[in-house]
Amino acid sequence: MASTSVPDVLVNLAAQLRLRPGLVGVAVHLLDFAGALEPETVRFTRVTMAGAAFLGWGAGPDSLRTIEPLRLAGFVSVTLPGGDNEHAAAALARGGVLLTEIAQQLRDDPAVGGALGTLAPPYRWRPPLMDRQDWRLGAAERDGAGLVAVQVDFSVAWQATS
C-alpha cells in the first residue's frame, strides 16, 4: 500500500522549487491566495489521490488494479510592466522558464523528497508527466501604466504501472 501524503507532496515540492536557481525571487505558495499580486508566482491549487492503494481499502492484491494517477494541479503567473507585443513575448518566455523549472525538479526527484510512497510489488510509479498546460495572456492598466500578464495552469500526473 502506498504511504503517500498529500501534505508531504505539497510541502516538499514547494521547498524544492524555492531552492532552484532558476526560480530565485519567485514566490512559491502552497495555496492559491486570492488577490496576492506578485510579479512571478507558482501556486498549487489541487491534489487528487484516488483508488484502493491510496485509500487503504480493497479486496486484497486485485484491488490494486484500481490505482489511479496521483495528480497535482497549479499555475504559474508572470506579470510585467508594458503593454505591447514585445512585453507580452517576454512574459510568455518567462512563463515557459517557470514551467521548465517545475518539470526539471520533478525529473530530478520524481518521489518529491520521499513524499510519494512506494507501491506494493509488482506495481511502481512511472516518472511524473506534466500532461496539461493552459496558457492565458492578458493586458491591464494599473496606476496609468500598462501591464501584461501570463498565467499557465498545469497538471502533473504520477501513474502506477506493473
User: At the topology level of CATH, where does 6-72+82-161 sit?
Assistant: STM4215-like (3.30.2000)
Provide the angle, in degrees to the nearest 10, between the axes of the packed helices 6-18 and 85-108: 120
42, 90, 143, 149 from 11: Cα distances, Å: 13, 30, 36, 27
The pLDDT tens digits for 62-90 are 554 555 678 899 999 999 999 889 999 99
**How confident is the prediction for the chain on average, in pLDDT?**
83
For residue 109, what pLDDT is reported?
94
Residues 138-150 have a mean pLDDT of 87
Grid cell, residue 105, equals 525538479
Structural domain boundaries in the chain = 6-72+82-161
Residues 109-137 have a mean pLDDT of 86
At residue 35 the predicted structure's pLDDT band, cuts being 50, 70 and 90, is low
